[in-house]
Amino acid sequence: MAANPDFIYTPPMSPYLDIVFQDEDIVVLNKSSGLLSVPGRLPEHQDCLQNRVQRVLPTATVVHRLDMATSGIIIMALNKPAHVAISRQFEQRKTKKSYIARVFGHVKEREGSVDLPLICDWPNRPKQKVDHENGKQSLTHYQVLSYSEPNLENASSESGNPKVESTLVELTPVTGRSHQLRVHMLALGHPILGDRLYAREQALTVSERLQLHAKILSLAHPISDELLTFTAPCPFN
């Protein structure tokens, strides 16, 4: 049984495409929260970043993905040599990624790591879970950026003034497992605000969107080998 049987896909239309950088080999985009990276199986799930990009750049191919609910930087290749070179960097963990998240409660340790193996929670897919026997090694570093207290007068689901205690954190994944950041924060006892799969009660209802954003991606250009760093401003704070 699916985790969200009543889910209705309503992808955002503005901005339709947010291109951060483009040359002959790559295109870098700032994906909106709520937009699939690649098409789903159902006809109503065909509107996605991949198809939108391919309407204007037909040779574009997906190298990596962001969860539908996650916003931020994503790169696509525009030719086969670029695709192969970028894919190799991801496989060899030579890329550097940094995410911003607002999580429920106050994270006590100002910085730390979560090293917990993950596996698909098959009966509740697409959810993932910690499994010390069969899970794949998964490592996330985190650093606290700021703490927020409840602000009942000026609370907003899209601002830094939620109705609950929360912490703004920078997350650096060393591995790239599905839902890794979301499950690791849950395992710490601090689910990401607005997470429809893993958050409960106040942590879920306080935000209309998942407060997780891929802010920075650094990698070598697939052809020139020049080190490139791309950023997308965080839509929440």
The string of pLDDT tens digits covering residues 116-165 is 999 999 999 999 999 999 999 999 999 999 999 886 555 554 555 567 99
Domain harbouring 139, CATH code: 3.30.2350.10
In the predicted model, what is the mean pLDDT of residues 168-178?
Answer: 97
What pLDDT is stored for residue 7 in this prediction? 81
In this structure, which amino acid lies at residue 200? R
Query: CB–CB of 28/21 below 8 Å?
Result: yes
Structural domain contains residue 65: yes
Give the tokens for residue 142: 């985190």
What does the mean pLDDT of the chain come to?
Answer: 94
Residue 36 lies in a domain: yes
Catalytic choice (23, 67, 195, 225): 67
Asked if the structure places residue 160 within a domain, the reply is yes
SS3 84: helix
105: confidence class by pLDDT, cuts 50, 70, 90 = very high
159 versus 177: which is more confidently predicted? 177
**Residue 3: inside a domain, yes or no?**
no
The whole-number pLDDT of residue 5 equals 63
Q: Does 218 reside within a domain?
A: yes
pLDDT at 216: 98
> Residue 144: its pLDDT value, please?
98
What is the mean predicted confidence (pLDDT) over 38-67? 97
Average pLDDT over residues 2-9: 71
Give the span between the Cα atoms of 185 and 103, in whole angstroms: 8
User: What is the rounded CA–CA span in Å between residue 160 and residue 151?
Assistant: 9
Residue 141 identity (one-letter amino acid):
H
Rounded CA separation 72/29 (Å): 8
| Model confidence pLDDT, tens digit, residues 63-93 | 999 999 999 999 999 999 999 999 999 999 9
Q: Supply the range of the domain harboring residue 186.
A: 19-231
Task: Show the DSSP H helices in the chain as ranges.
Answer: 49-56, 80-91, 180-187, 201-205
Please report whether residue 209 resides in a domain: yes
Burial 4-14 (b: 16+ CB within 10 A, else e): eeeeeeebeee
Identify whether 138 is part of a domain.
yes
Residue 236 lies in a domain: no
Residue percentage of the chain with pLDDT more than 90: 90
Q: pTM for the whole thing? A: 0.92
Tokens of 63: 């190298």
> d(Cα 58, Cα 52) in Å, to the nearest integer?
10
What is the predicted pLDDT for the residue at 211?
Answer: 98
Q: Which residue has the tokens 């969200």?
A: 4
Number of domains present in the structure of the chain: 1
Burial class (CB in 10 A: 0-12, 13-18, 19+), 149: exposed
Task: Please give the C-alpha separations between residue 56 and each of 60, 147, 189, in angstroms, as whole numbers.
Answer: 9, 42, 43
CA 148/CA 142 separation, integer angstroms: 17
User: 67 catalytic, yes or no?
Assistant: yes
Residue 51 one-letter amino acid: N
pLDDT band at 1 (very low <50, low <70, confident <90, very high): very low
